[in-house]
Structure 1
Amino acid sequence: MPTTPSGAPAPRPARTLFGSLSAGSERNLADTLRDERIGGLLLLAGAVAALLWANLAPESYRAVSGTVIGPAALHLDLDVAHWAADGLLAIFFFVVGLELKREMVVGELRHVATAALPAAAAVGGMAVPALVYLTVNTALPGGSPEGWAVPTATDIAFAVGVLAIVGRGVPVALRAFLLTLAVVDDLLAIVIIAVGYTDTVTFGLVLGSVAGVAVFALALRRGVRSPFLLVPLALATWALLHASGVHATIAGVLLGFAVPAAAGTARPGRGGALRPGTDGDHSLAERYEHVWRPVSAGFAVPVFALFAAGVTVDPATIGATLTEPVGLGVVLGLVLGKPVGITLATWAVSRFTRARLAPGLGWWDVIGVGLLAGIGFTVSLLVGSLAFGTGTELGDHVVVGVLAASLLAALTGGAVLAWRGRVHSARADGASARADGASARADGASARADGASAPDPGPGPRGTEQDTDPGASR
């Protein structure tokens, strides 16, 4: 243990919040920032298309979304809206599972010290919105407490997309904090969906699905890469879990967790052969995330938004959403509960531990991230459909509430982080100018020192000296 000159134990250095990142976390962050902006725009396009279709041609929208496809014998006779929510979102949750696995193996979640802050912030950012929703829906007549989990989730694609657009000067560690917080948020939302919104469970089918995940993991570790084997195995795992009564998107998360996330290393004594489950310098989870993220962000999530956000918007619906307990609880939970919960949890971590904000960061940065985390789109709409159904009056209130709250969160959080980005950029420019000035002064001092230490050339050659002697002409 380090000691002071007097022999006493040296105090442990204070840990900084939003400090430097590990190499794995920087790579994870770069991947997400590169892809999520486009994903957020496509998700927005799907939501706008849904609103236009549902309001301009409501009969056509209901007819398409209610079309039943699939065999009844396998419990897969679902309408298009449920295929989008139960089937396509499984791809989204598969990518979420891959992100979680990478964060736990090579990212911020692999150590308790670095995982504590985003985990605490995620818990605070879910508990306070749920409390706000429950307060509103128990205090006002006609409340529906069963929707308490709707305002608890943060949409990664939208939140990171907005941050990438407006927060160019925001420190990279703050962006990583938002990403890790949203990932932990999704993990907690998955637990809520699995536990809170499952009525009846057929445990035999659940065990069959778990066995499918185990075979999937074993096949990957044995070096199997053929999609002709892995994809049918994943589909069977999904179908078994869907038939069991547990929401089928959980299968996507479990399959994502089954993919190895350690980087490739050579196995000693076998000619440098790579360990099974790795792919050169990149892990198999990283490779699969690159393959499946475009499918998730470019197709699965926008199509889900197309069939989840289609609500007929009229003054009566908007007025009911902002006055009835369900819609009001969703809006207040996301717009107020999220930033309050995240900021309070971060303050508690800094207050009761040795952690401090990194130099240059202020609490307005944390508040801005908390506001932006109020963008709760994909998972919030999914939870709303599980709690109240699709196309119901309360379900429509949830959709309008989530859309309104996400818009407010994007505007307020984006404005705060854009301002903070300008502040950080100005500070960085000032520091760079001071560094350039100091460098110039150092160069000038070095030049003067070189001039002072140069040797005296002394008298020239004798012949030259005689030519310049004034007495030579006499």
Structure 2
Amino acid sequence: MNASPSPGSPGSTDSSGSPGSPGSSATARDRRSVAEFLRLEVTGGMLLLAAAALALFLANSPWSAGYATVRDHHLEIPFLGLDLSVGHWAADGLLAVFFFVAGTELKRELTVGELRRPAAAALPVVAAVGGMVTPALIYLAVALPSGGASDGWAVPMATDIAFALGVLAVVGRRLPSALRTFLLTLAIVDDLIAILVIAVFFTSELDVLALAGAAAGLLLFRLLHARGVRGWYWYVPLALAVWTLTYHSGVHATVAGVALGMLLRATPRDGEESSPAERVGHLVHPFSAGLAVPLFALFAAGVPVSPATLGEMAGEPEALGVVLGLFLGKLLGVFGATYLTARFARARLDPRLGWPDVAGGALLAGIGFTVALLIAELAFADDPAMTEHVKAAVLLTSLLAAGSAALVLTLRGRRLARSGDSASP
């Protein structure tokens, strides 16, 4: 999958058609600057937060009816059998781009990154598992005795990697670089488990023929890639076909994005500066961070939040289970699993990390947002009122986790700076 010639290169033209003109070079520099800005973790986190804040504002403003009309407006592609609302296009379609980038990152981590070495990956992997099992158990412990629905057990399991790393980028300049590696590995494993949960537990009745067609498309994608076939005009239509067939199969369509990302080769061959997984992930990341995820947040996070809503949430075991699971469950699960593994197994915490760093990272893991909002929509699809309340619980708890983590990590950074032991992530 090769990119087209870079603007400003000998084969490019400016708007007037003249190759290599000064205007063409300036436009290319501008595009590269915007793309690099969108690749910054802090940028993705801030865009996500801004989109969610705008959604909350619109949903609780005099324009709420217009916002709901746009979100619920259906866009149909008859010959593909697709008829989805704008909100569902964002959740099923645009979010597949985010999962595609996550798939490329996961493939690289499993092949050439931290996850390829069991000794290095042990602690963050165990931390990720603890940070997903504990919130689910806390949710069930709160919801079931009170007669609440068990369907939401998976909502507090997910960590938003973009927002969490964005917060860390803002407050973590004086913290050890090992904390970012720990959190990134934890979040990638978290994403993998969340993807499996979506595929297994939130799949409707399977259409075997459509699923077989999607599998055949993935196989063709892999064969073309293995033979070195280049050109986006082969892969983009094929990816769209795989996504469409996955949607019709009953499996959540975002799983197609992960599968496609993981099929890319993650090790460079002789003469290559970077692998296809790294190169394509690098190209697509600005579209994910700057367009796909913010638009999903814009249409997913728009829930009414009023004193009456908060009062109703306080009496609902589902919303309370999400709050306690996402905040307390992530903190206890990530920190507790890391401590117990380091204490009783051969795995060792990176010597550059202290337990306050791990505690701050555990709080960051309580930022749910993207995947948690998606699972809330899937878990309570038949109960719109409960969906809104659970989404509000996710948003409020994510902000609480982000604020608490920022406070802990800022104080930790100041202490390290005073002692002269800080290291930039």
Q: TM-score range by the shorter chain?
A: 0.7 to 0.9
After superposition, the CA RMSD in angstroms is: 1.9
Q: Tell me which amino acid in the other structure corresponds to 2:175.
A: V
Counting only pairs closer than 5 Å after superposition, residues 49-68 of structure 1 correspond to structure 2 as 49-56=54-61, 57-68=63-74
Whether 1:230 aligns to 2:232 is: no
Q: Tell me which amino acid in the other structure corresponds to 1:210.
A: A
Structure 2 equivalent of residue 378 of structure 1: 370
Change (3 A) 1:32 1:360: farther
**Contact 1:320–1:327 (Cα < 8 Å) also in 2:** no
- For 1:101 and 1:389, locate their aligned partners in 2 and report how far apart those are by CA, in whole Å: 31
Whether 1:346 aligns to 2:338 is: yes
Q: Paired residue for 1:148, among 125, 150, 153?
A: 153
Whether 1:403 aligns to 2:392 is: no
Worse-superposed segment, 319-328 or 231-240: 319-328
Counting only pairs closer than 5 Å after superposition, residues 1-80 of structure 1 correspond to structure 2 as 35-56=40-61, 57-72=63-78, 74-80=80-86
- For 2:371 and 2:218, locate their aligned partners in 1 and report how far apart those are by CA, in whole Å: 23
**Contact 2:154–2:375 (Cα < 8 Å) also in 1:** yes
Q: Paired residue for 2:379, among 387, 393, 408?
A: 387
Per-residue deviation, residues 14-39 of structure 1 (Å, max 9, x unmatched): xxxxxxxxxxxxxxxxx999622101
Structure 1 equivalent of residue 142 of structure 2: 136
- For 2:88 and 2:377, locate their aligned partners in 1 and report how far apart those are by CA, in whole Å: 10
Worse-superposed segment, 66-75 or 231-240: 66-75
- For 2:420 and 2:359, locate their aligned partners in 1 and report how far apart those are by CA, in whole Å: 21
Gaps of 5+ in 1: 1-30, 266-273, 275-279, 432-474
Change (3 A) 1:357 1:67: same
- For 1:429 and 1:382, locate their aligned partners in 2 and report how far apart those are by CA, in whole Å: 40
Q: Tell me which amino acid in the other structure corresponds to 1:150.
A: V
- Structure 1 position 357, deviation (Å): 2.9
- Structure 1 position 72, deviation (Å): 4.3
Larger Cα Rg: Structure 1 or Structure 2? Answer: 1
- For 1:423 and 1:100, locate their aligned partners in 2 and report how far apart those are by CA, in whole Å: 34
Structure 2 equivalent of residue 282 of structure 1: 274
Q: Secondary structure at the match of 2:144?
A: helix
- For 2:346 and 2:110, locate their aligned partners in 1 and report how far apart those are by CA, in whole Å: 23
- For 2:421 and 2:338, locate their aligned partners in 1 and report how far apart those are by CA, in whole Å: 28
Per-residue deviation, residues 233-273 of structure 1 (Å, max 9, x unmatched): 000000000000000000000000011100232xxxxxxxx
Structure 2 equivalent of residue 355 of structure 1: 347
- Structure 1 position 112, deviation (Å): 1.5
Percent pairwise identity? 55
- For 2:245 and 2:421, locate their aligned partners in 1 and report how far apart those are by CA, in whole Å: 57
Structure 1 equivalent of residue 204 of structure 2: 199
- For 1:306 and 1:391, locate their aligned partners in 2 and report how far apart those are by CA, in whole Å: 20
Whether 1:219 aligns to 2:224 is: yes
**Contact 1:153–1:376 (Cα < 8 Å) also in 2:** yes
Per-residue deviation, residues 135-167 of structure 1 (Å, max 9, x unmatched): 1101223x1110100000000111000011011
Q: Secondary structure at the match of 2:40?
A: helix
Q: Secondary structure at the match of 2:60?
A: helix
- For 2:377 and 2:352, locate their aligned partners in 1 and report how far apart those are by CA, in whole Å: 42
Per-residue deviation, residues 276-315 of structure 1 (Å, max 9, x unmatched): xxxx221111111111000000000000001001112211
Q: Secondary structure at the match of 1:426?
A: helix
- Structure 1 position 111, deviation (Å): 1.6
- Structure 1 position 70, deviation (Å): 1.7
Change (3 A) 1:116 1:33: farther
Q: Secondary structure at the match of 2:229?
A: coil
Change (3 A) 1:239 1:133: same
- For 1:370 and 1:144, locate their aligned partners in 2 and report how far apart those are by CA, in whole Å: 27
- Structure 1 position 362, deviation (Å): 2.3
Q: Tell me which amino acid in the other structure corresponds to 2:265.
A: P
Q: Tell me which amino acid in the other structure corresponds to 1:311.
A: V
Worse-superposed segment, 94-103 or 421-430: 421-430
Per-residue deviation, residues 411-453 of structure 1 (Å, max 9, x unmatched): 111111111112222222699xxxxxxxxxxxxxxxxxxxxxx
Change (3 A) 1:32 1:211: farther
Q: Paired residue for 1:314, among 306, 312, 320?
A: 306
Q: Tell me which amino acid in the other structure corresponds to 1:38.
A: T
Q: Secondary structure at the match of 1:233?
A: helix
Structure 2 equivalent of residue 444 of structure 1: none
- For 1:103 and 1:309, locate their aligned partners in 2 and report how far apart those are by CA, in whole Å: 30
Structure 2 equivalent of residue 438 of structure 1: none
- For 2:233 and 2:349, locate their aligned partners in 1 and report how far apart those are by CA, in whole Å: 49
Whether 1:157 aligns to 2:162 is: yes
- For 2:187 and 2:37, locate their aligned partners in 1 and report how far apart those are by CA, in whole Å: 12
- For 1:198 and 1:191, locate their aligned partners in 2 and report how far apart those are by CA, in whole Å: 11
Whether 1:249 aligns to 2:254 is: yes
Gaps of 5+ in 2: 1-35
- For 1:314 and 1:284, locate their aligned partners in 2 and report how far apart those are by CA, in whole Å: 48
- Structure 1 position 98, deviation (Å): 0.3
Q: Paired residue for 2:171, among 163, 166, 171?
A: 166
TM-score of the two chains, using structure 1 as the length reference: 0.79
Q: Tell me which amino acid in the other structure corresponds to 1:104.
A: L
